[in-house]
Structure 1
Amino acid sequence: MKTPNHMDLGATLEQSRSGLRDSHRRSLMRLLFAITGASLVMFACLQILNGFWWVAAGELVASALLFFGVWRLQVTDFLQQWICAYLVMLFSFFLIIMVLPEASVSAFVWILMIPVLAYLLLGKHEGMILSLPFMLVGVVIYYLHLGDMGSAHVLIDLLNLVLCAVLMLTFMHVYEQRREESEKRLVDMAQTDALTGLANRSSFQSTLNRTIAECERSGNEFALVIMDIDHFKVVNDTLGHDAGDRVLQNIGKCLTERLRATDAVGRLGGEEFGLILKDVKAAAAFELMDELRQRIAGCHLAYGQACIRVTASFGLAQWPEHGRSAEALFCMADRGLYTGKRAGRNCVAQADGVKQSSSQCISAGQTG
């Protein structure tokens, strides 16, 4: 069976600090670095004309660092640190502009940009930590800039900025919180089989790839098992698809109850399930699956006036004995599964032969 590679959505979500994936943040930061660097060159020229040589020198130095960053951001593994450094310098620049003797009142509107940039590029937690102190300092500077608070007009100006800053920070925090929750729900839906609640094929494949990578580093073994419900079509044909769904749900519950927390189980499609048994030798994996086979065969599912009994066949492949890649393991587990099917079903088998088989399969859909 050919098993295509799938994007690991769970890992992608964990690596994402905000609504932007790291690749998008990297591209956006390169653009921001380039725009900010070019803007600082123009501002430096204006500061020279205004007589602020020290400000112009600082802006030119910052511009040179930003243009270096445009190149460096393509390859760096420290993207988060680069973003934090950029935002700290940018927000500090906002404050410097505000404290200049001839600062324009319009310069203080940059206070409202602080939470937008911080939350967009850093996410909810780090965005709040970075933006809150800079916004507080900016409001204090604006208060000192206004001077006498005895005038109602001046007080209104201060309250307008404070209210807008609070609303902007609150809006960004609530928005980012809801976005994270919605994204997590969407990822869960994309990785979960709706009927059984187990991992779907894509998610199971990602787990298998991660397990292989972990075992390559640690040298531990694991087993990949493909399980198929015997004669499942009989249930659908005789009792209906609702009964078949109940059987699948019951099987899924049976699998999750018996396996360890470190193991993984998923529905690969139809009546086929996949299991990953970590840190087990081949003999132990076989014993566990044979016990599970017996448990499934002995389970009676009441459905109306009928009592549904099914059996299952298992194909087992051991890493690295039967292959080191996901595709090779799936192929060997599949071969074991169909070896067991040909041998009479209701058994656990490897590609090189049946290891255990019951004397007679129990008919699926039998009523009592």
Structure 2
Amino acid sequence: MLSDFDQNTQYRRKVLQVLLLITFFGGFVFGLSNIYRELYTLAFLELGYGLFSFLVWRQIGNTTNFQFWVISYLFPFFSIMMYALSVPGSSQSIFVWILTIPVISYLLLGKKIGFYFSIVFMTLGISIFHLKFMTDDIPLSITVSLNVILSGVLMIALAHVYERNREKNEERLMQLAGTDKLTGLANRMKLIDVYASASEYAKRHNVPLTIVLFDLDYFKKINDLYGHHVGDAALCFVADFLKKHTRKSDLLARFGGEEFALIMLASKPKDSFQQVDSLRKKLMNKPFIYNKKEINITLSAGISYLGVDGTDLDDLLVKADERLYFAKENGRNRVVADVLADNIEPSNSAK
């Protein structure tokens, strides 16, 4: 699953590709038009910028330094707008392009940087307009000034509200896509996404990363004896229990069925084992109560470690699953971190 940053970059990359093509064709059309009008400096700026836009368009599909190219495109684009508006002989109609600044800024730069770009260039554009086009007719000047200022403020406000709501909706959709419907925990897709960033952090800062797989013991009996609706309630009970007893900095996910997974960052192997085994003991002593019936639930767990048992998530999950299977085959209700190391493997506390 793509991260929020990747989603935003893809969205903005497509917007920029469209704008670059429009700027390429527009630059040549306006450039040739201004040569005819003998506005040579403006004409060559527009022609040169049209060519620059085409070169950026060829690059932008694959570049990793997207933000750099966005700013490299927007700053001269808006600056040429300001110059075009101020050139002697240019018409008031150029101000229509100035009104596109907030929309383009927010689409390509997001809420924060887009706001600053909009404020700076809209202020410049409105100031140039007033200096150049205001007349001695005071009533008319006031009317024109109010229209120009209010239209500029309106465009910034609308672009800001739109981008803020878009970011919130996108964040909400990403959250829903990464959430297990039954338990409200992260799902497997979210686990994969978080592991990618967590493992990079662990490697860069040389801190340990632990993967844990939990499986509820004899869960099928709960479904068979009490029904699947009670089984679902039991899964929610365990999910809530695990969430309350794990660190907020760790990621707890429902891996599938009655299996859960945990990513633990910056916790030494011995400490992570003790934390997981403590979870096991606490759950063993906290029965699930449904319709005044006490249902004892225990779990087994397998642990793997980044760098020791593998470097990618699949390898770590396979190793953790092997140790989980070993725990199941050797009495259940236990945590296994290394099937060959007696000093790490816990004693069997199954009832």
Percent same amino acid at aligned positions?
Answer: 33
User: Residue in 2 aligned with 1:150?
Assistant: 138
User: Residue in 2 aligned with 1:255?
Assistant: 242
User: Residue in 1 aligned with 2:10?
Assistant: 23
Instruction: Give the unaligned 5+ runs of structure 1.
Output: 1-6, 362-368
Partner of residue 78 from structure 1, selected from 37, 55, 65? 65
Q: Aligned pair 1:292/2:295, yes or no? A: no
Partner of residue 161 from structure 2, selected from 174, 177, 180? 174
How many residues align? The count is: 347
Q: TM-score if structure 1 supplies the norm length?
A: 0.84
Find the aligned partners of 2:152 and 2:56 in 1 and give their Cα distance. Answer: 30
- Whether the 8 Å CA contact 2:45–2:80 is kept in 1: the answer is no
User: Residue in 2 aligned with 1:187?
Assistant: 174
Find the aligned partners of 2:314 and 2:50 in 1 and give their Cα distance. Answer: 50
User: Residue in 2 aligned with 1:37?
Assistant: 24
Find the aligned partners of 2:184 and 2:29 in 1 and give their Cα distance. Answer: 58
Find the aligned partners of 2:127 and 2:197 in 1 and give their Cα distance. Answer: 50
Kindly provide the amino acid, as one letter, of the partner of residue 5 in structure 2. E
Q: Aligned pair 1:52/2:39, yes or no? A: yes
Summarize deviations over 1:274-330 as a string: whole Å, max 9, x none.
122333444433332222211111102332221121111112223333223221221
Q: Aligned pair 1:358/2:348, yes or no? A: yes
User: How far off is 1:257 after superposition?
Assistant: 2.8
- Whether the 8 Å CA contact 1:335–1:351 is kept in 2: the answer is no
Find the aligned partners of 2:118 and 2:318 in 1 and give their Cα distance. Answer: 53
Cα distance change, pair 53–322 in 1 and its aligned pair in 2 (3 A): closer
Instruction: Tell me the SS of whatever aligns to 1:132.
Output: helix
User: How far off is 1:117 after superposition?
Assistant: 0.9
Instruction: Give the unaligned 5+ runs of structure 2.
Output: none
Summarize deviations over 1:225-277 as a string: whole Å, max 9, x none.
11111112222333334432332222223222332343322111221101223
Instruction: Tell me the SS of whatever aligns to 1:265.
Output: strand
Instruction: Tell me the SS of whatever aligns to 1:356.
Output: coil
Q: Which runs of 4+ in 1 moved over 6 A?
A: none
Q: Give me the CA root mean square deviation.
A: 2.5
- Whether the 8 Å CA contact 2:42–2:84 is kept in 1: the answer is no
Instruction: Tell me the SS of whatever aligns to 1:226.
Output: strand
Q: TM-score if structure 2 supplies the norm length?
A: 0.88
Summarize deviations over 1:8-54 as a string: whole Å, max 9, x none.
4xxx31355xxxx3234334434433432343233233323222222
1:83-102 to 2 correspondences below 5 Å:
83-102=70-89
Find the aligned partners of 1:75 and 1:320 in 2 and give their Cα distance. Answer: 31
Out of 156-165 and 103-112, give the one that drifted further. Answer: 156-165
Out of 22-31 and 181-190, give the one that drifted further. Answer: 22-31
Cα distance change, pair 149–177 in 1 and its aligned pair in 2 (3 A): farther
- Whether the 8 Å CA contact 1:225–1:274 is kept in 2: the answer is yes
Find the aligned partners of 2:9 and 2:271 in 1 and give their Cα distance. Answer: 41
User: Residue in 1 aligned with 2:210?
Assistant: 223
Find the aligned partners of 1:100 and 1:205 in 2 and give their Cα distance. Answer: 55
Find the aligned partners of 1:114 and 1:139 in 2 and give their Cα distance. Answer: 12
Cα distance change, pair 286–99 in 1 and its aligned pair in 2 (3 A): closer
User: Residue in 2 aligned with 1:315?
Assistant: 302
Summarize deviations over 1:106-151 as a string: whole Å, max 9, x none.
2221122111111111111111111122222322333330312434
- Whether the 8 Å CA contact 1:335–1:350 is kept in 2: the answer is no
Summarize deviations over 1:313-359 as a string: whole Å, max 9, x none.
11222333322322122112111112221222111124636823435
